[in-house]
Chains A and B, each alone.
Chain A
Amino acid sequence: MFDAIVNGLSGLGAGVLHLHWSNPVMIAVGCLLLYLGIKKDVEPLLLVPIGFGAIIVNIPLADLMGEEGFLRTIYNMGVANELFPLLIFIGIGAMTDFGPLLENPKIFLLGAAGQFGIFLTIGLALLFGFDKLDAVAIGVIGACDGPTAIYVSSKYAPHLLAAVSVAAYSYMSLVPIIQPPIMRLLTTEKERQINMSELVSTSPASKTTKILFPIVVTIFGGFIAPQGLPLLATIMLGNLMKESGVVGRLTKATENEIANVVTLFLAISIGATMDGRAFLTTQTIMILIFGFVAICLDTVCGVLFGKLMCKATGGRINPLIGAAGISAYPMAARVVQKEGLKYNRFNFLLMHAVGANTGGQVGSVMAAAIMLSVLKGMGIIP
């Protein structure tokens, strides 16, 4: 009888006895993510389920990511096969208005420049000894686009998924803190005061153009970068549904119900990959550093390209909007608007910045698609 009680009590304490030092640390990290999401309103839709996932996966013996674990089931259902990020992309496409970009299509180029950080960071990661595909997954944090980072890392470097996705979403939410000092450092006060509304004449796009835009991007992008077609096609399908106006029910479902359910599953799965034994490594710290570098380089390249366009157009482009060429939508556009107003209180750059920002969304997907097709061409991926 006494032995049975002792055995029973030892069963109750087994979880504590199997605790690894990294588990309490990661539980604290999970709590920090919950705090940021709940109290500080930082990406709560993502950080709350990620934080909770990180807590429960670090409770020993629960085996939630084991073969039969419910988190493993969710992970296999949509992260391991890259389905969840693609479903989210349909919702993003349905929520995005490319109108400001189509009003002034040349700012598409800023969306390209805003992705240069991806490729520069890949080079840096390679210099620091990362494997080729690991470097690619790290560089794509610079896309400043969560689903793209998750798609690429889950496909080609699944062991880095947790660190890459945490870095991608954390830095996206930190864009308002990271970008302004770089923008001020690289521009003169005179450049920051350029009032584009007075200098740039734009014309609105017709409904036909708006409907043709996603079709043209999909066909064109698919031909030059077929490896990235799932990324391009899903975001453009969402946008086509929105602009066509004939499938309101589907559009509503993709931007609400589907996006919400998939966000929950995706985020809790990411949290579930944050097992302390695998996550608390020097490699994770390096990935977080490289992710930060990638976003800084994106901003630098975007602003410098903005300066180039400013010169080329005789001072009609405010170089600040180059910072919105990254994909963090709409945070980057808001940062540009705020910075512009600081130097000229009548300078409303928002619509131009939103154009560059949506260009950055297309740019990030296009850059990832091109990168995957180049990797395929070099025989690095099957």
Chain B
Amino acid sequence: MDNVTFGLTLLVVGMGGTLAALGLLAVMMNLLKKIFPAKEEPSN
């Protein structure tokens, strides 16, 4: 694989993958917060 193809692939998949993965994590964390709201545990 030549360097240009390699660099572009890594750029697109790497940046896109990181953004998508953290976006999904954000959604999951919002869901977790809805399922386990803080008010359940007033001591915290």
Contact = CB atoms under 8 A, between A and B. Distances in A.
B32 A112 contact: no
Given A118-B14, A212-B32, A378 B9 contact: yes
- The secondary-structure label for the interface of chain A is helix
Interface string A360-372: 0011001100110
B6 to A, nearest CB: 6
- The list of the 5 closest CB pairs from A to B, nearest first, reads A105-B29, A108-B26, A208-B36, A112-B22, A123-B7
B13 A374 contact: yes
A119 B14 contact: yes
Nearest to B21: A366
Contacts of B13: 370, 374
Nearest to B3: A126
B15 A209 contact: no
Nearest to A125: B7
A335 interface: no
Interface residue tally on B, bucketed by range: 20 to 34
A151 B4 CA distance: 25
Given A205-B29, A375-B10, 14 more contacts: A109-B26, A111-B22, A119-B14, A123-B8, A123-B11, A132-B3, A206-B37, A206-B41, A209-B32, A225-B21, A370-B13, A374-B9, A374-B13, A378-B1
A105 B44 contact: no
A205 to B, nearest CB: 6
A365 B36 CA distance: 26
A204 interface: yes
A115 B36 CA distance: 30
B10 A204 contact: no
A35 to B, nearest CB: 37
A18 interface: no
A213 B29 contact: yes
A362 B25 contact: yes
19 contacts: A105-B25, A108-B22, A109-B26, A116-B15, A118-B14, A122-B10, A135-B7, A203-B33, A205-B29, A206-B33, A206-B44, A208-B41, A209-B38, A212-B36, A213-B32, A216-B32, A217-B25, A220-B28, A366-B21
B7 to A, nearest CB: 4
Contacts of B25: 105, 108, 216-217, 220, 362
A208 to B, nearest CB: 4
Interface string A324-344: 000000000000000000000
Interface residues of A, number: 46
A374 B10 contact: yes
Given A102-B29, A203-B33, A109 B14 contact: no
A113 interface: yes
A159 interface: no
A366 B14 CA distance: 10
A376 interface: no
Interface in A192-244: 203-209, 212-213, 216-217, 220-221, 224-225
Most buried by A among B18, B21, B44: B18
Given A132-B6, A366-B18, A119 B1 contact: no
Contacts of B36: 206, 208-209, 212
Interface string A87-127: 00000000000000010011011011101101110110011
